[in-house]
Amino acid sequence: MPQINKDGLLAGKVAVVTGASRGIGEFIAKRYAMEGAKVVVSARTVEASDHFLEGTIKDTVRVISDAGGEAIAIKADLAQAEDRQNLIKEAEAAYGPVDILVNNAAVTWFVPVVDFSEKRFRTMMDVQVWAPFELAQMCLPSMIERGDGWILNISSHAAIHPEAKTPGGHGGTVYGMCKAALERCTTGLAQEMFGKGVGVNVISPGLVATPGVVHHKLINENNEDRVTPVEHMAEACLRLCYGDASKITGRIDYADQVIEEFGLQPIDII
């Protein structure tokens, strides 16, 4: 039976996980809690009525708490400046300085460039590029002061340049732009933080059957054999947030590669 280990790999650490009401963020939050972290679970969805997809930050916290872990829910729409700033302030007020920041939240529309509205473009850039940047800015001073901290950004294979001379795309240009920018931000920040005790990495999950992926019909008969269990992503995300930050930083990773490289054995999640 999966359980909480209060003396685990992240014992006493404070972890902020955005987009943690469901899917990958939910499982990352639970996996960190299983290793003893105090987890700040954040997303827009507080009550079931807030979103058409199943899952809320209250649900995630309830599971962690019922298992004997420690977590709080903080609502945040990362497209809003006030919510971004409030998230870190409330996290620090509840648990103290942030040790681990996981930027997982995303809002996505798959629309061809010719039809993409400015409002949606700016919202996607705010949530998937500016929010990770600004949240890092707020967490970094205390990390640098303590000489200890981790920032993990969640990307996608969409960041890889597509073959221009093949038909397709399916309206994913803006999504790919956001993820490519996030990856370049990660490696740049890792370089800035090198030698200061702060590790900065980015990881893509591969194809995981999250509620959002299913809703957007991203799994089909051509790729269904490549679906990766979400537990693999959670385990890989755990591995990239502990250890020697001078050796595990500036990585552009994929979950399956991390699992293989470190010989990880994904476990059941609470």
The span from the CA of 40 to the CA of 104, in Å, is 13
Clarify whether 32 is annotated catalytic.
Answer: no
If you ran DSSP here, which 8-state letter would residue 127 be given?
A: I
Q: What are phi and psi of 97, to 5 degrees?
A: -55, 145
Given 32, 175, 242, 254, the catalytic residue? 175
Quick one: tokens of 207? Answer: 């194809």
Positive or negative torsion for Cα 216, 178, 37, 255: positive
Q: CB neighbours of 3 closer than 8 A, spacing ≥ 6?
A: 34, 67, 68, 270
**Contact of 44 with 76, CB cutoff 8 Å:** yes
Phi, psi of 55 (to 5 degrees): 120, 135
Q: Which residues are catalytic?
A: 175
